[in-house]
Amino acid sequence: MATHKLLLLPGDGIGPEVMAEVKRLIRWMNERGIARFETEEGLVGGSCYDAHKVAVTEETMAKAKAADAVIFGAVGGPKWDGVPYDVRPEAGLLRLRKDLGLFANLRPAVCYPALADASSLKREAVEGLDIMIVRELTGGVYFGEPKTITDLGNGQKRAIDTQVYDTYEIERIARVAFELARKRRNKVTSSEKRNVMKSGVLWHEVVNQVHQREYKDVQLEHQLADACGMQLVRWPKQFDVIVCDNLFGDMLSDVASMLTGSLGMLPSASLGEVDAKTKTRRSLYEPVHGSAPDIAGKGMANPIAMIASFGMALRYSFGMIKEAEWIDQAIAGTLAKGLRTPDIASPGAATVGTQQMGEAVIKELERVASS
Ligand code: IPM
Ligand code: MG
C-alpha cells in the first residue's frame, strides 16, 4: 500500500475545529488499514502572521510543494483587519493557489435529501440538486497587474484591479469542465460578461473553440454571469457543470452553497495540471466556507464541508473512488438519522456540535464500510 503525504493547514477561526474531525477520519482510515496517510501540520493565515509576521512561511510553501495533497481549513478574521495588505490572512491561501499552479477549482453543490428543507429555496427547487461549479483559480482579477491604489494628489485616490486572461488559461479550465461533464450529465454552462468585458469576449470565443475542436459531444450553453446568478436561485436543476472565471466563480459558488442548505456543506478541490511523467497533480482541498469568527471556539461549526473536502482528496488525488463514495454515503446517512449542526438545524432533529457530528459520520462510515 502506497504512503500518501498530507500537509494539514488548519488556519484560523473554525479551521482547526473542523480539521480535528478530518484528523479523526485519517486516524480511522490508517487504523483500519484502508490507507497509509502520513501527516504534517503547518500554520497559515492569521495564526501564521501572529507567529511569523507573514501569511505563509517559505518552509510551509516547500512542504506544500512536496506533499501529495494539502488539506486546508480556513483563514481570516477581524483580529487581522489591520495587518498590511500583503500579509493579510487571505494572502497565504492565494499564494498557495498561485505557486502550486492550482488553476482548477471544483465546487460541487449537492443537496442531500435530508437537507432539502434547510435550503432557502423551496424543496422542489433543490431536492436532488447536483451541480459542479468549475472556477478558474489562478488568473483573472485576483492576480492581474496592475493592482494598485494611487493618490492623485487632489484629495482623490484611484484604485485599479486588472482582469486578465490568456487563451491557454481559458482552454485548460474549459477542458476540465468538459471532461467532468462527460462523466456527469454531459452539459456545460459557460458564464462571463461578454456584453461588458473584453475578457468575457475572449472567454466566450475560446470556450466555443475548445468545444468545436474537442468536445462536440457535450452540450454547451452560455449565460451572462448576472443571469447565471439569477438562474441559480430560480431553477438550479437546469445546470450540470458551470465554468467561469475566478471572481464570478467565487460569487456563484457562494450562491450555490445556500441551495444545499448551508455554506457549511460545500467542499472544494483545487487542482493543478497533470504531470505527464508522474501522472500526478498538485492539489489542495478546502471547504468553501470561511473561518466563521462569530462561532469560532464554540465547537458548533459544521465539519461536513471539511470532511467532504477530504473525500474529494481521496477521489481526485488518490484514486480511492470507493472510499470517497463511502464518505458521501456516511454523510448522507448521518443527516438522514436526523443529526444537525446549528447551521442546518431543523425542527425535530437533534442539534449537535462539531465533534459529535464528526464522530457520527465515522460511526456511519464504519457501518457503510462493513456492509
Ligand atoms: C473562497 C474564498 C477566498 C476567495 C478568500 C478567502 C480569499 O472566498 O475560496 O471562495 O475569494 O477565493
Ligand atoms: Mg468565496
- What are the pLDDT digits (tens) for 108-163? 999 998 899 888 899 999 999 999 999 999 999 999 999 999 999 999 999 999 99
- What are the pLDDT digits (tens) for 322-345? 999 999 999 999 999 999 999 999
Question: Which of 180, 175, 173, 185 is closest to 238 using CA atoms?
Answer: 185
Going from the Cα of 38 to the center of ligand 2, the distance in angstroms, rounded, reads 29
Would you say the CB of residue 137 lies under 6 angstroms from ligand 1? no
Distance CA 315, CA 116 (A): 25
Going by CA atoms, what residue is nearest to atom 7 of ligand 1?
Answer: 90
**Catalytic residue positions, numbered:** 142, 193, 226, 250, 254
Is 346 a residue whose pLDDT tops 90?
Answer: no
Would you say the CB of residue 251 lies under 6 angstroms from ligand 1? no
Ligand nearest to the CA of 247: 1
- What are the pLDDT digits (tens) for 24-48? 999 999 999 999 999 999 999 999 9
Edge-to-edge order in the sheet of strand 104-110? 36-41, 3-11, 69-74, 283-287, 267-271, 104-110, 130-136, 241-244, 187-192, 219-224
- Residue 42 is which amino acid? G
Q: Read off the C-alpha cell for 193.
A: 460578461
Going by CA atoms, what residue is nearest to atom 8 of ligand 1?
Answer: 250
Sign of CA dihedral 254, 258, 259, 264: positive
The pTM of the full predicted model, rounded to 2 decimals, is 0.96
> For a substitution probing ligand 1, which of 44, 75, 93, 96 has the most ligand atoms within 8 Å of its CB?
93
Going from the Cα of 349 to the center of ligand 1, the distance in angstroms, rounded, reads 31
